[in-house]
Structure 1
């Protein structure tokens, strides 16, 4: 199955979505925990930060879909 771009860096894969590293970096910077990622890697972030990152990615995807209408 070929991924359909929703937003630069965010791809829909059926029921799942996959974020590019660049998009994840943008979200981490926006949400304020990029410094942790740089020091400790993605495994060093808090579960709440990971959840907030997913919530923000979903919000962006929904906004993009709404703008297509």
Structure 2
């Protein structure tokens, strides 16, 4: 199977990792070095950002 295309842009992932405080790990170990909890929190934050954007677009 081919590599799946990511839904989040690389820039967005980096922004969220910085916000959540584990970007240093990403820089040193790559995305595979983050904890499952960090990955889950990153997805939660991305969903939250998308919901905020949808609310703003409705206004």
TM-score under structure 1 length normalisation: 0.74
In 2, Cα distance between equivalents of 1:26 and 1:32: 10
The structure that is strand-richer by fraction is: 1
Aligned Cα root-mean-square deviation (Å): 1.1
- Give the number of aligned pairs: 53
Q: Mark the runs of 5 or more structure 2 residues left unpaired by the alignment.
A: 1-5
Q: Which residue of 2 aligns with 1:49?
A: 38
TM-score where L is the length of structure 2: 0.86
Equivalences for 1:12-51 in 2 at 5 Å? 18-51=7-40
Poorly superposed stretches of 4+, deviation over 2 Å: none
Shift of 1:46: 0.2
Q: Mind listing any 5+ residue stretches in structure 1 that lack a counterpart?
A: 1-16
